Structure 1
Amino acid sequence: MQQSLNQRINNLIIGVVVLTTVVLVLFVWKSTSNQAESRLTNDLAVARNVLTQVLQNRDEQLTSSVTVLTNDFGFKDAVASRDKGTIDSALANQGERINADLMALFSLDATTITSVPELITAQTPFIYPELIDSAQLNGNSTSILSLDNKLYQVLFSNVKAPRSIAVALMGFEIDQALVEQLKQITQLETTIIVYIDGKDAYRISTLNPDQYSQNIQIENTDALFLPLLAYSSESKLISTSFNLLEKERLKIDIMLGSDVKTVFADFISLQTDIGLIAVIAVIIAIFLGALFSKKLVKPIQSLTIHAKNISAGIYDEKINVDWHSSELSMLSHAFDTMQDNVKDREQKVIYQAQHDVLTTLYNRNHAETLLSKKFNRKESFQAIGINIFGFRGVNDTFGYHNGDLCLQELAQRVINLGGLSARLTGGELLWVPDHILTEEELIQLKSQLDGNVISGDLSIPMTVAIGVIDCPLETHSPSELFRRMNIVIDEAQITRRFILHFSAELEEKYIRRLSIITELKKELSNTQGELALFYQPKLNLTHKKVTAVEALIRWNNAKLGFVSPEDFIEVAEHAGFIGEITAWVYQQAIQDIHSFRAQGIEVTVAINISAQDVMNPELLPTIISLLHAYDLPTCVLSFEMTEGHLVKDLGKAVQQLSLMRDAGFKIAIDDFGTGYSSLSYLSRLPADILKIDKSFVLKLNELTSDQNIVKSVIQLGHQFNMEIVAEGVENQESLNLLIDYGCEWAQGYHICRPINAASFVQWFQEYQY
């Protein structure tokens, strides 16, 4: 049967419309499915990285804390003596600092000594002896353990004194709170599956048990099949799994998943609209075939090209076609809406990748990119580092929440200045102004950034330290800029010079400081005989005898040569291991005292201690225990400290010094007359001896002003029932004046230079006043 031309045309147009619509639907289906699968795969990969980073951060936190614990002399002493009470207390205290859930100590043969809490039975073999062996061999070993159906991320660390004596364990529980935290970060369902001896032992999950069977592994599913799951009446989860740990008896898998309907919500809506448009297009084609046939091809082609552009990541092009169909207009609008949504979502991801979450400033990585462009264009600019002075103290005193609030307030003040701003590290910001600032403008900048931060009823004082680097004059790359900015900011913090420009001398000083720290730690860990104690006699001017000496530490390093105590003591105090130096000094001094007394020399040895030592509650019992071990009375030692170092916490200092004094040790205030000296401090400190600084004694025989000062200090000390020691006596005339003034003790080159223990024995036996 013949058909009319119109009918043929209509049939042809209808066929073309149907075919074109089907092709378009399939293309959009495939494109959106692949894009959804790609995005979901990326989301799951990011979540996996987040989990790995969280576990790594916890490992680093454990490493830092266990290192502090195993380096603690008191803890080592308790481990060596198997003092369980002290060991438990040390483990519990260190664990509380980082909220650890498991602490334990093992002997070298993998026998449990103790655990806090008592999850591992004491005096029993540990079930993972290979981890103990690894810690002894490598210093540290990390792992994940299953104990009593609980999972722990643990770190084993070798305890040396100086040889290996035990292995300490510290760990965090991998619990429900952790997986809930990961879900909050990644917006993905997280499940930790624990297999013991090949059996599914237990799970830690944000899912309920009924949802386990509804997981569909993305690795085993075709991308075109994924959208169909979203149309199911049942809730389905699409997930991926990876192995976190697998050893002899224990296997741990991580499963990350997301609800299919959530992932494909936008795409389902789009595909539904396309299907509806396809039906309407066929109906219209039946009635208006020939009329719209020519105009229909071009819009469909435009939509196809636009879909390809969207799938290729081109979001700025719009469809510029004169639509004669409302349905095609709706489809175009749907494409434009999808394009805008995808573009917005991508911009959010880019923003998060370039900005710091807390401060909204650029992060370090993006700042490095922007600075690289400036360096490549050979621009001249000024980089200004900004750090909250004493930021750690702010966190410790007011809490980390208020510390974050201070950072946010500082960041907002920097943003208000314009220019380029970024957060480099915890409390360090970078600002690149639009023009080079003068010294006056830098001073004005500091005043703008300083100022209290209000948090509820709290008023938190905030002072900033500023480091200035001129680029490219003083640096030629972002990495070098960051490193040198760290140097100048550290120096500004240490020296309290709150506006400091970079110089080559600062870098040399920084490098030397790092070398001192490295070499000094090496010497303290593996004594090579570079440290030595020298003794400078103190002459009793009443009895004309030497009955006391001052112990002075000396360090002659193979790499650095002779290092002045003023240099390495200050570095050790800032680096936080001055206590180890003090421990070496009193141990060596007690050994030398024992040797002196064996040779008939009875002198009191004065050792210098820092404010950190004074605040250490373990110092006094440790020294007393060591004296008892050598059968020595407490009177053989006395302590000297600089008054200014104690005034930061004078109340606690007075309490600790009183305990030392009550134990039988004499306390001396060193370098009196400089720094913070005042009658109020002098009256409160429980001191027996006052040492006049040598700057007032070196030319005592020549300067009337020094004579008046010395006489006044001696009279003042006597009013407080203190004995007086004059340092820096270099001639007989000065010594005679001190005798006339009623000074009890003299110390200086005129009497004897600092000499080693063997030389002191010979000098003492030959010396006659």
Structure 2
Amino acid sequence: MQKTLNQRINRLIIRILVITMVTLLIFIWKSTSDQASAQLKNDLEVARNVLSQVLDTRQKQLANSATVLTDDFGFKGTVASRDKLTIDSALSNHGQRINADLMALFSLRGDTITSVPEKFIPGANFIYPKLIEEAVNQGNSDSILSLDGELYQVLFSSVKAPRPMAVAMMGFKIDKSIAEQLKRITQLETSIVVTPGDAQSYRVSTIDSDANMMNIQIENMDALAWFTLSFNSKNKLISTSFTLLEKDGLKVEIMLSNQVESLLADFISLQISIGLIALAAVLIAIMFGAMLSKKLVKPIEALTVHAKKIADGEYDEGVNVDGHSSELTTLSTAFETMQRNVKDREQKVIYQAQHDVLTTLYNRNHVEKLLSEKFERQECFQAIGINIFGFRGVNDTFGYHNGDLCLTELARRVDSLGGLSARLTGGELLWVPEKELSKDELVQIKGKLDGEVAAQGVSIPMTVAMGVINCPSDTHSPSDLFRKMNIVIDEAQITRQFILEFSDELEEKYTRRLSIITELKKELRENNGELALFYQPKLNLIQNKVLSVEALIRWNNKELGFVSPEDFIAVAEHAGFIGEVTTWVYQQAIRDIISFRDHDIDVMVAINISAQDVMNPELLSMVMALLRVNELPPSVLSFEMTEGHLVKDLGKAVQQLAIMREAGFKIAIDDFGTGYSSLSYLSKLPADILKIDKSFVLKLDQQESDRKIVRTVAKLAHDFNMEIVAEGVENQESLEILRNYGCEYAQGYHICRPIDAAKYIEWHKTFSLPN
């Protein structure tokens, strides 16, 4: 029986449709599975890149922390001292600040000096000497080490002053917390497999080792077929691994895994939906079946193309899918969300790798790259280092949180100036202006950067020091620029020249200061007799007797020769060990006082103290303990301090000086008339003695203006019930004038030069008033 044309057409269409639908279903199924597999591989590759970025970021953090530690003058001095307890303290303090798990110090030969915690035997050879040798030759070296069954990411950095004298090591433990951190970033199970040479391998993993998880099979990506992905994904993990380190017998592998079932849920759902839609289309209508097959293929192909673009790092193009089903729309939305997340995560990693976390300025590593590009282009530019003057004091006085607040505010002010800005070390910023600035313009810029910072109900005064380096005339590389920046900023802080340009003389002074720090700490530790106290008598003009002397410290070093007190005292204050110098002075003064008394010489010894000494609450208890041990009264000592130092924190200085005075010590204000003298200032000071600066006394017999000043100051001091000491008496005429003005004491070369304790004893016994 012949069939109608309509039937034939219908049968033909049905056959074509069935074949087409079957073929389309197979194609769609295969394409979807391939896409799932490709997407899984892409996700694992993205995870690998993120992991590399995390490890690089940790390495850069180690490098920055190592630079801060090895560039710190106090730490260099500590290393040079070779005092294990002091070094342990410095390493422990720095390690706590950066949350390091291991800190160590090695000699240049590779011997262990110390470690915190004590993981290495002091004096023993380090098991990886090549890393120390590399740090000595290149400045830094880094690696991942297996130590006693634990894995550490470490960085070695040479300590230079200016030549290498030791190698510091700091490291973070690579433990389960790191694996958990990587899992939070990558959303993948993370395993760290360590094979330390011939020893038994071990692993750190986020995969639980309970009974359930032990049944999970870990398969290689290449072993997964589309059927496995679609119907056999339960309790399976997709994993990929790569070798992080293979060196000196140590092999570290990173394995990233994810569950197939959770990853492929949307893909499996989509495949089932497509199959049901295809079957429904056959039953409903031949025409709709053909149209549906066409509309299903095109969106999937578009998504496949777009997935490849995402895999290639193209994130800007949108997902253009003409979806006619909720599943395709959901899949398209998922693609867009994944694309944004991957892009945001990549941008965040890049931003964190280039910027400082606290100030949001560029970090040292990134600005070094930018400066290198400027040097390669042979650009002429100014590099200006900016540091908060007395930043350590701000942290000690107001707390590290407020110190960070000051640094953040300074960074905001610098960034508002335009140009290139970065944070180099703890409190040091770098600013490269868009054009070269004159001295007057720099002064104006400094005025914008200075100013108080409001923090938690207090107002913190902030003054900045600026070091200027002209490139490429002063330097030709970023590393040398950073080194010279440290030199000029250090000089600006010490000399209080708050805008200072680099010069070769500054580098020489910087080297000498490092030598002074090393040699002075050595002398304080070993007491080789290089330090000595000299004494200059103060003649009582009423009794014509010497009742007190001023103690003056002197230092003759076998390497540096005679070092002026103005030099080494300033260096000790800046380096933070002026307290040790002060302790030595008091101990030596007590010994000399006992020697004077053994020779029937009863004099009061006046000792100069710094601003740091006055603000140190432990000074008074230390002095009182020395006096008690030697059975001496407080009247044998007095304190002298320059008024310019006191005025920096007058309220606290007055409080501390009042406590000293109540304990029985006399207080003298030195160099009066050269600083911030005023009646209101003088009235607040708990002082017994006022010392007139020698600049007003040297030519007292010749200049009427000096006589007026001295006469006025003497009357002023007496009105405040203070005694007067006139420094710089050079002749008998000046001495008589001072006597007539009612000055109680005179001091100067006309009476006696500063002499050591033994010579003073001889001088005191034979003293007679000069004619």
1:445 aligns with 2:445: yes
Tell me the residue number matched to 1:510. Answer: 510
1:724 and 1:744 in contact (8 A); partners too: yes
- Shift, 1:564, TM fit: 0.8
How many Å separate the matches in 2 of 1:587 and 1:189?
A: 64
Tell me the residue number matched to 1:539. Answer: 539
How many Å separate the matches in 2 of 1:612 and 1:574?
A: 10
Seen in structure 2, the aligned counterparts of structure 1 residues 187 and 377 have a Cα distance that, compared at 3 Å, is same
1:589 aligns with 2:596: no
How many Å separate the matches in 2 of 1:756 and 1:527?
A: 17
1:724 aligns with 2:741: no
How many Å separate the matches in 2 of 1:659 and 1:399?
A: 25
Q: TM-score, normalised by structure 2?
A: 0.67
1:683 aligns with 2:690: no
Instruction: Name the SS of the counterpart of 1:539 in structure 2.
Output: strand
1:29 and 1:271 in contact (8 A); partners too: no
How many Å separate the matches in 1 of 2:304 and 2:535?
A: 91
- Shift, 1:312, TM fit: 4.9
Most deviating of 32-41 and 574-583:
32-41
How many Å separate the matches in 1 of 2:211 and 2:493?
A: 58
Most deviating of 212-221 and 750-759:
212-221
- Shift, 1:374, TM fit: 1.0
Ranges in structure 2 where 5+ consecutive residues have no aligned partner: 1-10, 99-115, 125-175, 191-205, 242-253
Seen in structure 2, the aligned counterparts of structure 1 residues 225 and 692 have a Cα distance that, compared at 3 Å, is farther
- Tell me the amino acid that sits aligned with residue 630 of structure 1: N
Instruction: Name the SS of the counterpart of 1:552 in structure 2.
Output: strand
What are the equivalent positions in structure 2 for 1:269-308 lying under 5 Å apart? 269=266, 273=270
Note the alpha carbon deviations across 1:454-507, whole angstroms, 9 max, x for none.
668766665544433222122211222223333334444444444433333333
Seen in structure 2, the aligned counterparts of structure 1 residues 275 and 370 have a Cα distance that, compared at 3 Å, is farther
Specify which of 37, 41, 53 is matched with residue 34 of structure 1: 41
What are the equivalent positions in structure 2 for 1:402-413 lying under 5 Å apart? 403-413=403-413
Tell me the residue number matched to 1:366. Answer: 366
- Shift, 1:600, TM fit: 3.1
Seen in structure 2, the aligned counterparts of structure 1 residues 336 and 709 have a Cα distance that, compared at 3 Å, is closer
2:589 and 2:605 in contact (8 A); partners too: yes
- Tell me the amino acid that sits aligned with residue 31 of structure 1: A
1:214 and 1:235 in contact (8 A); partners too: no
1:382 and 1:468 in contact (8 A); partners too: yes
Seen in structure 2, the aligned counterparts of structure 1 residues 550 and 328 have a Cα distance that, compared at 3 Å, is closer
Seen in structure 2, the aligned counterparts of structure 1 residues 236 and 629 have a Cα distance that, compared at 3 Å, is farther
How many Å separate the matches in 2 of 1:616 and 1:639?
A: 14
What are the equivalent positions in structure 2 for 1:358-397 lying under 5 Å apart? 358-391=358-391
How many Å separate the matches in 1 of 2:119 and 2:338?
A: 58
Note the alpha carbon deviations across 1:650-707, whole angstroms, 9 max, x for none.
3433333333333332222211221022333333323222222111121222222222
2:698 and 2:730 in contact (8 A); partners too: yes
How many Å separate the matches in 1 of 2:662 and 2:408?
A: 48
How many Å separate the matches in 1 of 2:504 and 2:67?
A: 33
Tell me the residue number matched to 2:668. Answer: 668
How many Å separate the matches in 1 of 2:711 and 2:602?
A: 30
What are the equivalent positions in structure 2 for 1:546-585 lying under 5 Å apart? 546-585=546-585
How many Å separate the matches in 1 of 2:62 and 2:324?
A: 58
What are the equivalent positions in structure 2 for 1:181-200 lying under 5 Å apart? none
Instruction: Name the SS of the counterpart of 1:484 in structure 2.
Output: helix
How many Å separate the matches in 1 of 2:232 and 2:391?
A: 54
Most deviating of 651-660 and 585-594:
651-660
- Shift, 1:532, TM fit: 1.2
Matched positions, count: 661
Tell me the residue number matched to 1:650. Answer: 650
How many Å separate the matches in 1 of 2:231 and 2:575?
A: 58
Instruction: Name the SS of the counterpart of 2:437 in structure 1.
Output: coil
Tell me the residue number matched to 2:150. Answer: none
- Shift, 1:755, TM fit: 1.6
- Shift, 1:587, TM fit: 0.2
Note the alpha carbon deviations across 1:236-286, whole angstroms, 9 max, x for none.
99999xxxxxxxxxxxxxxx999958x997875467557766887999999
Seen in structure 2, the aligned counterparts of structure 1 residues 712 and 291 have a Cα distance that, compared at 3 Å, is closer
How many Å separate the matches in 1 of 2:632 and 2:421?
A: 61
1:9 and 1:289 in contact (8 A); partners too: no
2:492 and 2:500 in contact (8 A); partners too: yes
Tell me the residue number matched to 1:356. Answer: 356
- Shift, 1:544, TM fit: 2.9
- Tell me the amino acid that sits aligned with residue 526 of structure 1: E
Tell me the residue number matched to 2:628. Answer: 628
What are the equivalent positions in structure 2 for 1:228-377 lying under 5 Å apart? 269=266, 273=270, 310-313=310-313, 338=338, 341-377=341-377
- Shift, 1:591, TM fit: 1.0
Tell me the residue number matched to 1:167. Answer: none
- Tell me the amino acid that sits aligned with residue 38 of structure 2: S
1:34 and 1:224 in contact (8 A); partners too: no
How many Å separate the matches in 2 of 1:498 and 1:680?
A: 29
How many Å separate the matches in 1 of 2:541 and 2:371?
A: 67
Seen in structure 2, the aligned counterparts of structure 1 residues 748 and 225 have a Cα distance that, compared at 3 Å, is farther
How many Å separate the matches in 2 of 1:274 and 1:378?
A: 61
Seen in structure 2, the aligned counterparts of structure 1 residues 495 and 744 have a Cα distance that, compared at 3 Å, is same
How many Å separate the matches in 2 of 1:573 and 1:428?
A: 19
- Tell me the amino acid that sits aligned with residue 593 of structure 1: I
How many Å separate the matches in 1 of 2:639 and 2:217?
A: 70
2:487 and 2:507 in contact (8 A); partners too: yes
How many Å separate the matches in 1 of 2:733 and 2:183?
A: 78
1:705 aligns with 2:712: no
- Tell me the amino acid that sits aligned with residue 37 of structure 1: L
Note the alpha carbon deviations across 1:131-181, whole angstroms, 9 max, x for none.
88989979xxxxxxxxxxxxxxxxxxxxxxxxxxxxxxxxxxxxx9x9999
Most deviating of 27-36 and 580-589:
27-36
Note the alpha carbon deviations across 1:417-446, whole angstroms, 9 max, x for none.
433232323443333233223344434434
Seen in structure 2, the aligned counterparts of structure 1 residues 135 and 621 have a Cα distance that, compared at 3 Å, is farther
How many Å separate the matches in 1 of 2:428 and 2:630?
A: 50
1:610 and 1:641 in contact (8 A); partners too: yes
Instruction: Name the SS of the counterpart of 1:521 in structure 2.
Output: helix
How many Å separate the matches in 1 of 2:438 and 2:755?
A: 52
Using the aligned pairs only, state the percent identity.
Answer: 60
Seen in structure 2, the aligned counterparts of structure 1 residues 329 and 599 have a Cα distance that, compared at 3 Å, is closer
Note the alpha carbon deviations across 1:732-761, whole angstroms, 9 max, x for none.
222233233333322222222212222222
Q: TM-score, normalised by structure 1?
A: 0.68
Most deviating of 54-63 and 498-507:
54-63
Q: CA RMSD in A?
A: 6.0
Seen in structure 2, the aligned counterparts of structure 1 residues 375 and 527 have a Cα distance that, compared at 3 Å, is same
Most deviating of 13-22 and 645-654:
13-22
- Shift, 1:38, TM fit: 4.3
Seen in structure 2, the aligned counterparts of structure 1 residues 56 and 264 have a Cα distance that, compared at 3 Å, is farther
How many Å separate the matches in 1 of 2:58 and 2:486?
A: 30
How many Å separate the matches in 2 of 1:392 and 1:181?
A: 36
- Shift, 1:648, TM fit: 3.2
Note the alpha carbon deviations across 1:22-50, whole angstroms, 9 max, x for none.
65445434433334334446666777899
Instruction: Name the SS of the counterpart of 2:596 in structure 1.
Output: helix
How many Å separate the matches in 1 of 2:581 and 2:432?
A: 42
1:538 and 1:549 in contact (8 A); partners too: yes
- Tell me the amino acid that sits aligned with residue 28 of structure 1: Q
2:535 and 2:754 in contact (8 A); partners too: yes
1:472 aligns with 2:479: no
How many Å separate the matches in 1 of 2:268 and 2:355?
A: 35
Tell me the residue number matched to 2:610. Answer: 610
How many Å separate the matches in 1 of 2:671 and 2:651?
A: 21
How many Å separate the matches in 2 of 1:663 and 1:712?
A: 31
How many Å separate the matches in 1 of 2:231 and 2:696?
A: 88
How many Å separate the matches in 2 of 1:215 and 1:60?
A: 44
